[in-house]
Amino acid sequence: MQTEAAQTEPKQSIIHTRYGFMTIIGILLIITILSAGAAVSFGQVDIPVSQSYRILLHHITGIQIGDVQELTSGSFVDIIWKIRFPRVLMAMFIGAGLTLCGTIMQAAVQNPLADPYILGISSGASLGATFAILIGFGSMGLLGQTGVAFWAFAGAVGASLLVLILASAGGKMTSVKLVLAGMVINALCTAFANFIVYFANNAEGIKTVTFWTMGSLAAASWDKLPLISAAVAAAIFFFLIQFRVLNAMLLGDEAAVTLGIHLGVFRKAYMLITALITGVMVASCGMIGFVGLIIPHLVRGLVGSDHRRLLPASILFGAIFLIWTDVIARTIVPNVELPIGIITALIGAPMFMYMLIKKGYAFGGKN
């Protein structure tokens, strides 16, 4: 009888057990750390990976392995510590942040095609940056070199607020109204940005706008990291403790109400927070597509749709993905750095088509 009962009892995949999940998280953490150390070795000037690890280990922990002169001075030290390592850290935080926002958006609007830019954030930021670059506000003395970032952030947040106001007009906010409002604001901001570009007589400015809209981590530096890291870390901490509400969102509004959860309040709060975080990221590195759309689907197919597991796994996977995508962007063409958005699109679009054809994931439940 015991044997027959054991045979009829459904078997749980080891991935969905606590031990299996913790193993996955441990592996992803190790890969993230190793990737951050190895990625600084690749670029227009190749540096031995072992030397890169030793230089980073000395600067971070003070541990000396090898000649102290080699670890503290020279061109390799400057390249790794002053240029490439801040860029790798920026890629890590941007990848984690975009994936986090994509996961939250897909749950909040109950749409597997949602990404961090669904609320018109990308078009709003593009309009703000285009305005700053082509009209000239990006070089104003009041804001200095941060002018473009300021106007991009202002455009992203402004567009998101308009979407929330529009989606709330005429009654209760719903996921469908959010998506439709985002499409409207996206089209409107895009039209205004194209209007500015059409009448601008600034070839260099248009080239800058084009490069910015494709995304780049070339401007990463130590002084830009505190804001990005603090914003993304705070958002990660907040949403990691919201997994119960996020799981309830997948059940639908009516089911959530029976559980005593007023999704309208949480949906507005989540949308506003993700809009702010995405605005900060877009203002720092431009628009990098497909990360927040693809990574949650890939990880959902691995660990399931429970946000207690999905969020931490997606965050780490997104960080790893963007670290190596940036390496490809700066090394695939000799002496040329491609916008990272081109690489993420070239990788993300075929992956998404494959998932659509295979249908190897389930949005609202376990696989």
Model confidence pLDDT, tens digit, residues 285-305: 888 989 999 999 889 888 888
Residue 124 within a domain: yes
Average pLDDT of span 98-102: 94
Q: State the pLDDT at residue 218.
A: 87
- When divided into structural domains, the chain yields a total of 1
CA proximity to 270, closest of 153, 173, 362, 187: 173
Q: How far apart, in Å, are the Cα atoms of 356 and each of 199, 239, 294, 352, 363? A: 40, 28, 11, 6, 12
| Whole-number pLDDT of residue 16 | 65
Interior CA angle at 270 toward 326 and 264, to 5°?
A: 150
- Residue 61: CB atoms within 10 Å: 8
- Reply yes or no on whether the pLDDT at 59 is more than 80: yes
pLDDT band at 20 (very low <50, low <70, confident <90, very high): confident
Find, among 313, 296, 326, the residue nearest to 94 by Cα: 326
The alpha helices in 146-224, defined as continuous H runs, are 147-168, 175-199, 203-214
Q: How confident is the model over 274-290, as pLDDT tens digits?
A: 888 988 888 888 889 89
| Bridge partners for 33 per DSSP | none
- Tell me how far apart the alpha carbons of residues 282 and 40 are, in angstroms, rounded to a whole number: 23
Give the confidence band of 363 by pLDDT, cuts at 50, 70, 90. Answer: low
The answer to whether position 367 is within a domain reads no
Interacting residues of 193 by C-beta distance below 8 A, sequence separation 6+: 123, 126, 127, 130, 131
Q: Determine the average pLDDT of the residues in 114-139.
A: 78
With 70 as the cut, is the pLDDT of residue 137 above it? Answer: no
Q: Is residue 35 part of a domain?
A: no
Among the residues of 304-337, which ranges form H helices?
307-331
Residue 330 maps to a domain = yes
For residue 15, give the DSSP letter.
G
Which element (helix H / strand E) includes 139?
none
Query: Amino acid letter at 57?
Result: L
Answer whether residue 6 shows pLDDT above 50.
no
Q: What is the pLDDT, as a whole number, of residue 61?
A: 86
CATH number, domain with residue 313: 1.10.3470.10
- Whether residue 63 is contained in a domain is answered as no
Percent of the chain with pLDDT over 70: 90
Report, as an integer, the average pLDDT of 194-214: 79
pLDDT at residue 86 is higher than 80: yes
Q: Is residue 313 part of a domain?
A: yes
Identify the band that residue 160 occupies on the pLDDT scale cut at 50, 70 and 90.
Answer: confident
Please report, to the nearest 10 degrees, the dihedral formed by the alpha carbons of residues 83, 89, 90, 92 taken in order.
140
| Helix axes of 307-331 and 18-39: crossing angle, nearest 10 degrees | 20
Q: Which of 57-61, 95-99, 183-187 has the highest mean pLDDT?
A: 95-99
> What pLDDT does residue 104 have?
94
pLDDT at 296: 92
Question: Which of the given ranges, 146-160, 220-234, 344-358, has the highest pLDDT on average?
Answer: 220-234
- Please state the rounded mean pLDDT for residues 256-280: 84
- Which residues span the domain enclosing 265? 87-358
DSSP reduced 3-state for 16: helix
Average pLDDT value for the chain: 83
Q: What are the backbone dihedrals phi and psi of residue 190, each rounded to the nearest 5 degrees, phi first? A: -65, -40
Kindly state whether residue 46 falls inside one of the protein's structural domains. no
pTM of structure: 0.86
Check pLDDT > 90 for residue 233: yes
- Given a contact cutoff of 8 angstroms between Cβ atoms, the answer to whether 149 and 130 are in contact is no
pLDDT score recorded for residue 146: 59
In the chain, what percentage of residues exceed pLDDT 90?
A: 32
Residue 10 lies in a domain: no
Confidence of residue 68 (pLDDT cuts 50, 70, 90): confident
